[in-house]
Structure 1
Amino acid sequence: MPAIAYLECVRCHHHVSAVTPQTLCPLCAGSLYVRYDMDELKRTARRDEIVPRAAASGASLGMWRYANVLPSGTPEKPVQPVTLGEGWTPILRSKRYPGLFIKEEGANPTGTFKARGLGLAVTMAKHYGLQHLAVPSAGNAAGALAAYAAAAGIAAHIFMPQDVPFANYLEGIVYGADVTMVNGLISDCARMVGENIKAQKDANTPANEVWFDISTLKEPFRVEGKKTMGYELVEQLGWTYPDAVFYPTGGGVGLIGMWKAFEEMEQLGWVTGKRPRMYALQATGCAPVARAYDEGKDASEFFQNAATFAAGLRVPKPYGDAIILDIVRQSGGEAIASTDEDILKSILDWAKHEGIFLSPEGAAATAAYDALLASGDLKPTDKVVLFNTGAGLKYTDMTAEAMHLRRPGTLPTRMPVGGIITPQ
């Protein structure tokens, strides 16, 4: 596992030491990326060691199979992963479209891709000795933080909109987090986290009691966890790039992390060829990135009256919007928004014809894929990796409501079973 050379601001490229925990660039408040000594990595990080190491452990090692490109700490104080088995999720070939693969992130702990970023961020928080972590969340990041903080013995303080899927609220409570439900959007939750931290500092709260903001792109390690999706999809495709990657985009850290992974793999000589076109998929009820893309802008504007049942896409102003837009345009991809009606149709279509219960966010990607096939901008033979970022079962209440589906009648208090299991 490599030592961190420095943290680099994505905006002004200022270098910051990683010896102590960092949030944003002290000069311009840009997001910080973890940088390694790539010359040293070329000598020590070999892709042909990944499979033997995983085999020797008796398991895939999840995302930690890529330990040689993840932070290590120092010889005196090595990083000890806080892991629940995240990563190395299945990549499923579509039954209908010959070039399409589904990366099933619902197989992660807590049922979404958020386990990757929060797993690594909590690992580093424990390494630094942090005791209180705070996050504003559209739902799934809250559940992942609650789980990993519990595993690490760290206090989690969660702020999320009161209309998130019920599973997200239940996760926070079950894992023992401090949960605050907010009558508003994730932007309101972020404001409240910031106000709490400021109040703690103003009150001269002991440093180890002050919350550390682990928000999207406001610390450097969630990107490091999310980048493992890029390493995985390339390895699972035989160390080759697909033609395109379709990624549901709320905060957009997964898309950003994968682009960082592609850059690293190319420097290491692990992959060659043209990088995939990156598609950022949103819902029309909250589409700040798609709107900015359509208008040719370099950054998004706050999306007023955001409303969609794809809760993870309800991010009215992503912190990394400029990074996302730059990646999409560099790659030759697009940012596309689909209606809630089309998202629901896609959930039902994929469940019936492919046996996959998509999350609403994942269905925003399949809906856009179908639209591009219909327009001729994509061919069924184009090699596309499409991310289902979470398990559909985490959204049973939201999806049932969108379908106008209610539990049938009054169930009997005792149901006869009969047959070989128990007597009737």
Structure 2
Amino acid sequence: MPAIASLECSRCHQHVSADLPQTVCPHCAGSLYVRYDLDEVKKNSTRPTPGGLQNMWRYSAVLPDVEPVTLGEGWTPMLRSQRYPQLYVKEEATNPTGAFKARGMSAAVSMARHYGLKKLAAPSAGNAAGALAAYAAAAGIEAHLFMPRDVPFANYLEGVAYGAHVTLVDGLISDCGRMVAERKDAEGWFDISTLKEPFRVEGKKTMGYELVEQLGWEYPDAVFYPTGGGVGLIGMWKAFEEMEALGWVKPGKRPKMIAVQASGCAPVARAYREGAAVSKMFENASTFAAGLRVPKPYGDYIILDVVKESGGTVIDLSDEAILDSLLDWARNEGLLLCPEGAAATAAYDHLIKTGFLKPSDRVVLFNTGSGLKYVDMIAEAMGLKRPAENESPEEKKYPERSPVGGIITPV
């Protein structure tokens, strides 16, 4: 494993030492990137070969020199579509906590233990909280989770079961983040919010290494990524940069990066359409794709830069289109996608129809978590209820879908 050379600000590019735990750039509050001496890595390491570790730490040559807190995260399957020969699904549901968030939390909690931190806190739309609770439990560190009250029930259950301190908030993830920021100093918490510490990106970047390795060390033409906080998209772009510097990837144009949002919470899509450098707070955010309900991503400026540099785009879909795609993939591909993953499949269909992509383009889209973690959300979106005791399933005719009301989206 390489020593960390420094932490570099993504905005002002000043460097900060990694000898002590850091949050954001002390000069401009930009997100920090971990930087290694890649010439030294290239001299002492080669890219992974078949076999070896079957988790994200197979890329230890480009991860911090630390004893990992691992539950077997990463090295998730790349599934070829049954219907679209050039479409692949990176199935992040097989991660230990059922979602891609396990990668970032493995790296972040590993470094927290390395630094001797005792209390970690994070706001979350759901899956990050579950992952933090699991990895903190494995590391013997106290975890404090702040989530909107209407997160999928599985996320609340995870936090409680893993022994974390769980606070449910009447609001959105932005309200949860404010509460962490207001209390962290008095409570002695280290804030590992999205892009407010440098190591969750390091875990998420392994998705980029994996997808390229699983495609024979070649880039696809496009990558679809459901984008709430956007750490995975940002991390993959960092991975591509590192792989090119190391000579690990076959030369060629980097993939178009497609950021996917829900129309009920689409701050980055709106900023992209307006040609803005950053997003504005998205008022009254609402979608049953809970992980996409981030009204103002901290790293919005990085997401927009990556999309533009790659020749990609940002697209948002309605909850109705997302649900239709979720049911289509369940019935025709045998995959119960999470709503965020179904946003990506819906976006793929749309961009094929509009001609932005061709059916012959090799595309990787991310299903960022298991649909089974969202059974309450999906059932409500479908209008599905358990049959009454005196009804048989055959007698009960379930609607295919219905407008989602109540606390998840407006009626």
Alignment of 1:34 onto 2:34: yes
Aligned position for 2:147: 160
* Secondary structure class of the residue paired with 1:193: helix
Aligned 8 A contact 1:50 1:66 in 2: no
Tell me, what secondary structure is at the counterpart of 1:371?
A: helix
Q: Any idea what SS the aligned residue of 1:106 has?
A: helix
Q: Which amino acid counterpart does residue 39 of structure 1 have in structure 2?
A: D
Paired with 2:230 and 2:126, the residues of 1 have a C-alpha distance of 15
Q: How far apart are 1:411 and its partner, in Å?
A: 7.6
How far off its partner does 1:239 sit?
Answer: 0.2
Q: Which runs of structure 2 are paired with 1:60-99 in the superposition (5 Å)? A: 60-72=53-65, 79-99=66-86
Within 5 Å, which residues of 2 pair with 1:44-193? 44-47=44-47, 49-51=48-50, 54=52, 60-72=53-65, 79-193=66-180
Q: Which amino acid aligns with 2:241?
A: E
- Shifted more, 370-379 versus 355-364: the winner is 370-379
Deviation at 1:162, TM superposition (A): 0.2
SS at 1:101 equivalent: strand
Please say if residues 217 and 320 of structure 1, whose CA atoms lie closer than 8 Å, have aligned partners that are also in contact: yes
Q: Please state how far the C-alpha of 1:257 moved relative to its aligned partner.
A: 0.1
- CA shift, 1:199, in A, is 3.3
* Per-residue deviation, residues 370-398 of structure 1 (Å, max 9, x unmatched): 11111222222210000000000000000
Distance 1:50 1:138 in 2: 36
Match of 1:398 in 2: 377
Contact kept? 1:62, 1:85, Cα under 8 Å: yes
How far residue 198 of structure 1 moved from its aligned partner, in angstroms, is: 3.5
Q: Aligned-pair RMSD on alpha carbons?
A: 1.0
In the TM superposition, what are the counterparts of 1:365-380 in structure 2 within 5 Å? 365-380=344-359
Partner of residue 220, structure 1? 198
Output the amino acid matched with 2:177.
A
In the TM superposition, 1:225-236 aligns within 5 A as 225-236=203-214
Q: Distance in 2 between matches of 1:298 and 1:223?
A: 21
What's the offset of the Cα at 1:42?
1.1
DSSP-derived class of the 2:72 partner: coil
- Taking the aligned partners of 2:116 and 2:193, their CA distance within structure 1 comes to 18
Contact 1:45 1:69 (C-alpha < 8 Å) held by counterparts: no
Larger Rg, first or second structure (1 or 2): 1
Q: Aligned partner of 1:101: which letter?
A: Y
The residue that corresponds to 1:16 in the other structure is 16
Distance of 2:50 and 2:70 partners within structure 1 = 19
Distance 2:71 2:140 in 1: 14
Q: Cα deviation per residue 1:192-244 (whole Å; 9 max; x = unaligned)?
A: 001111434xxxxxxxxx10000000000000000000000000000000000
Alpha-carbon distance between aligned partners in 2 of 1:25 and 1:50, rounded to the nearest angstrom: 36
1:112-156 CA-to-partner distances (Å, cap 9, x unmatched) read 000000011000000110000000000000000000000000000
Partner in structure 1 of residue 260 of structure 2 = 281
Whichever residue aligns with residue 69 of structure 1, its letter is V
Q: Distance in 2 between matches of 1:5 and 1:376?
A: 44
Q: Distance in 1 between matches of 2:326 and 2:144?
A: 32
State the Cα distance separating 1:410 from its structure 2 match: 2.0
Q: How many equivalent pairs are there?
A: 390
Partner SS for 2:133: helix
Corresponding residue number in structure 2 for 1:306: 285
- 2:375 matches 1:382: no
Equivalence for 2:234: 256
The whole-number CA distance in structure 1 between the counterparts of 2:330 and 2:351 is: 20
The code of the aligned residue for 2:314 comes to A
What's the secondary structure of 1:319's corresponding residue?
Answer: coil
The letter for the 1-side match of 2:42 is K
Q: Quick check: 1:245 aligned with 2:223? A: yes
2 CA distance for matches of 1:103 and 1:14? Answer: 34
Listed as ranges, the gaps of 5+ residues in structure 1 are 55-59, 73-78, 201-209, 413-424
Q: Which amino acid aligns with 1:32?
A: L
Task: Supply the AA of the counterpart residue of 1:23.
Answer: T
1:417 corresponding residue in structure 2: none
Identity %: 73
Give the 3-state SS of the residue equivalent to 1:227 in structure 2.
Answer: helix
Letter in 2 for 1:251: G
